[in-house]
Chain A
Amino acid sequence: MKETLGQSVLLVGLAAVLAFAGYLWRPDALPWDVRALEIELAAANELEEALWVDARVEEDFQQAHLGGALLLNEESWEAGFVGLLEVWFPDRPIVVYCSSQSCLRSHHVAKRLREELGVENVFSLKGGWEAMLETGKAKGGES
Chain B
Amino acid sequence: MKLRVVSWGLYLVVGVFFGLAAQVKLVDPEAFLSSMLTYELFPYKVAAGLALFAPVLEALLAICLVTGVLRKGASFLTAAMLLVFIVLVLQGLLRGLEMDCGCFGSNTLSSVSDYLLKIGQNLLLLGAVLLARFLESKSKAQPS
Contact = CB atoms under 8 A, between A and B. Distances in A.
B53 A4 contact: no
A34 interface: yes
Contacts of A100: 38
B2 to A, nearest CB: 24
Contacts, number: 71
Given A32-B48, A104-B30, A10 B56 contact: no
Contacts of A14: 60
B73 A8 contact: yes
28 contacts: A3-B73, A4-B73, A5-B76, A6-B73, A7-B72, A8-B73, A8-B77, A10-B73, A11-B57, A11-B61, A11-B64, A12-B77, A15-B53, A19-B57, A20-B52, A22-B52, A22-B56, A23-B52, A30-B30, A32-B45, A32-B48, A34-B44, A100-B38, A101-B37, A102-B34, A102-B35, A102-B37, A104-B33
A112 interface: no
A85 interface: no
Nearest to B61: A11
Interface string A5-44: 1111111101110111011000001111011000000000
B77 to A, nearest CB: 5
Contact count band on A: 20 to 34
A7 B73 contact: yes
A37 to B, nearest CB: 12
B70 interface: yes
Contacts of A9: 73
A103 interface: yes
Contact of B44 (A20, A35, A103): A35
Nearest to A104: B34
B67 to A, nearest CB: 13
B70 A102 contact: no
A100 B29 CA distance: 18
Interface string B49-70: 0011100110011001000001
A50 B53 CA distance: 39
Contacts of B61: 11
A11 to B, nearest CB: 5
